[in-house]
Amino acid sequence: MSSGASSSSSPPPAEAGDGYWAARLEAMAARPLGEDELSAEQLETNNQLQEDEERHQKYSMTEKQLLKEQREIDELLNVIEVLHNSKQCPSCKMAISKTAGCNKMTCRNCGKFFCYRCN
């Protein structure tokens, strides 16, 4: 067969959307075969594409789920940043950041007086 199309076993591009696999299946169906039946290789590729499309539809997330997940990731990154750039109050464990001034701190949560540098 000299249809000029080569079957590749490389994974789909990361940005492949819902229509990616459908377009691939349509392109395969539109190819002239020269025979009435699909070759074993083409049949296997066709089955694999259909399975991949079904798996993609089964496990793909909705836009709402993606936004919720992104908000949770952003919140975790904010907490990590706060904990990295602050110290905890020795009494109530509230995160306290020093922006300027001396090291004598008073916790606004519990009122505990402490040294920011020594703590």
- Tokens encoding 25: 């299946």
69 and 50 within one domain: no
Q: What is the domain range of residue 35?
A: 18-59
89 and 77 within one domain: yes
Number of domains in the chain: 2
β-strand partners of 106: 113
Average pLDDT over residues 94-100: 85
The verdict on residue 7 lying in a domain is no
Report whether pLDDT(3) > 60: no
Report whether pLDDT(62) > 70: yes
Average pLDDT over residues 63-73: 88
21/5 Cα distance (integer angstroms):
16
The verdict on residue 46 lying in a domain is yes
- Tokens encoding 76: 């975790």
Which residues, in sequence order, are CB contacts of 110 under 8 Å at separation 6+? Answer: 89, 91, 92, 94
Report whether pLDDT(7) > 70: no
pTM of the full predicted structure? 0.36
Which residues, in sequence order, are CB contacts of 39 under 8 Å at separation 6+? Answer: 1, 33
80 and 97 within one domain: yes
28 and 48 within one domain: yes
